Chains A and B, each alone.
Chain A
């Protein structure tokens, strides 16, 4: 997940601004893809590509804020840097509240923009790493058998092996074996790690959902 693979997406309806921004960022060593309309970008966007979005707000058809809404609805987490020639306070507050990475005024200072992009890419990177980890954890959790899931739930709840055995109607030894399997499958070495992992996966364990 290095910065060199990250792509900066620019969307602006004004052709000269779009071309100039694209040039400026490209000649600074960044990988840039430019779109003349929000809709075009939305239709072609591939979430697997790391990067960030530099987005003009005031555009005919779908404007910047509408695009942001759509992306959020789709669950996308691409960081957005808003650019605008308007200095509208209410607009900026709205954008930031919805999780925009930054809000800059046009004509934008290059250094400011590059800083914002850098920060956005870091955030994006982090998010991707987290996502990756999360999906791996989910995979591991999904590999547990139903029985193992039940045991895990009670372990997290803080129950002793004896109690677990009694509740699930199995021998204490069986419980211990299950715990060993869980540790192996989930690739953890201690109970605290186990707990942490489960926390990271969120409260809803896949096996809970299943049962």
Chain B
């Protein structure tokens, strides 16, 4: 603009104000070096900026500007062919030297930074530094040249200085241009990646939604849990952070303990966390969930657990339906079994009835004709009551057997359980002329199970044992033995008969449903026994001893007191 000024005053003013953009450019260059090349000595930066600052101050404090104390005239110079520009000339300001000095300081600073970059800069930094270095060299060349020429009187001003900035600017523009290019490339890549990420997220959302899944994380150290819930029935606020205990309290009260236990187990053993639990919804319905989680460690310390939760309500409901059907089947089988034993059961009930009748008649005799054997009458009455209780006991027990009931887990004393079964089977055993030997150790631990269902299994096995020995001549050999032993964590119960064993071709199918070698019956008995034992968490199997008979074994879990 100076070059196009029309008169002296304008030129002088313009030259004054031009120092301001020069100052800003200077500072800009310094910060450019810092940010772009990531190097540069602070001291040098301050020196050069300080000098430039000084120049600026001098510029505004001197009469006209930094360059001239007074601009006396404008010379018209022809440059680049026919372009006419005005070049001011006049009395040089003695302080003008500050200008170039600060430039040189800047150059030094930039050079130093470039060298530093060569030593420990990145590839890009190095590249940039080279460009910068080139421009610096140019300035370094130009500035003193300009000075020399000035002093020599060949030129009137420092207008070359203007030119000195050009390569710098060119260099900077080139670098910045490259960066812009790169930025746009990166931006494109970013867009692509974003699109891919978006796609991915959509797929995940779909998957989670379809599977009714939600993701969760538990920061173990800080005890904070949060989850993302894309499942269909959203009912928990996203990104809500809660403590583990808070989470437990949201579960169905009956399941809280087992979930806490599962988490503790996972933390203790390092295995994956697995649990199933219910939650009661605000609308009153109950939903089932299955949670799976994996622990992340820092060294040996668990820091985080990440997992998923599935809504398994439908599956659980189906399971429950199957369980109910299975129960019904067991019930049916039980009823049929009792039906088969009805003759024996009638016999069992008729014994106490016969005793009661006989006793009553005897009491009548004793009381007639004024005979007063009160002591014996009292004895008789006591016996009648005892027999009545015995009969009622059998009937009560039968009613339990006839009921359709779900498996109730209670602690059982096997001695009692076996004793009760033997009362029910007493007449059946008599009918088959079979004797029973019971060998249960006195210190046998209590087991967990459902009384009626276990007795159903025993009943079935005993009955089968009787039938197996039906054709054995010798009464002493028609013997059923019941054993039990503690095998650590479980009790193993065995029922042995002295029959002819099970034909080898039947061994594998004996527990299958509808398998029977008898002419009557549906062949479900053993299958249901297996279902019952499995539902108790036990195993059932056979030892086939051929001609020496068969032994059925099953296990039940021992009751552990916590």
Contact = CB atoms under 8 A, between A and B. Distances in A.
Given A16-B383, A106-B351, A24 B365 contact: yes
A110 B360 CA distance: 10
The 7 closest A-B pairs by CB, nearest first: A20-B358, A27-B365, A23-B362, A107-B354, A85-B350, A16-B355, A106-B354
A interface residue count range (under 10 / 10 to 19 / 20 to 34 / 35 or more): 20 to 34
B interface residue count range (under 10 / 10 to 19 / 20 to 34 / 35 or more): 20 to 34
Given A85-B346, A106-B350, A17 B355 contact: yes
B352 interface: yes
A46 to B, nearest CB: 26
Given A27-B366, A28-B365, A85 B359 contact: no
Which of A14, A16, A26 has the most CB atoms of chain B within a 10 A radius of its CB? A16
Contacts of A16: 351-352, 355, 383, 386-387, 390
A75 interface: no
Given A58-B347, A85-B351, A107-B350, A17 B435 contact: no
A61 B475 contact: yes
Nearest to B352: A16
Interface in B321-362: 343, 346-347, 350-359, 361-362
Contact of A58 (B353, B380, B387, B431): B431
A27 B371 CA distance: 11
B520 to A, nearest CB: 18
Interface in B466-520: 475
Interface of B: 343, 346-347, 350-359, 361-362, 365-366, 376, 380, 383, 386-387, 390, 427, 430-431, 433, 435, 475
Contact of B357 (A20, A27, A86): A20
A108 interface: yes
B354 A23 contact: no
Contact of B343 (A59, A86, A110): A86
B351 A17 contact: yes
A63 interface: yes
Contacts of B358: 17, 20-21, 23-24, 107-108, 110
Contacts of A147: none
A140 B359 CA distance: 50
Interface string A44-87: 00000000000000111101000000000000000000000110
A23 B359 contact: yes
A162 interface: no
18 contacts: A14-B351, A16-B352, A16-B386, A17-B355, A17-B358, A20-B354, A20-B358, A21-B358, A23-B358, A27-B362, A28-B365, A58-B430, A85-B354, A86-B431, A106-B351, A106-B354, A107-B350, A107-B356
A17 B354 contact: yes
B375 to A, nearest CB: 13
A196 interface: no
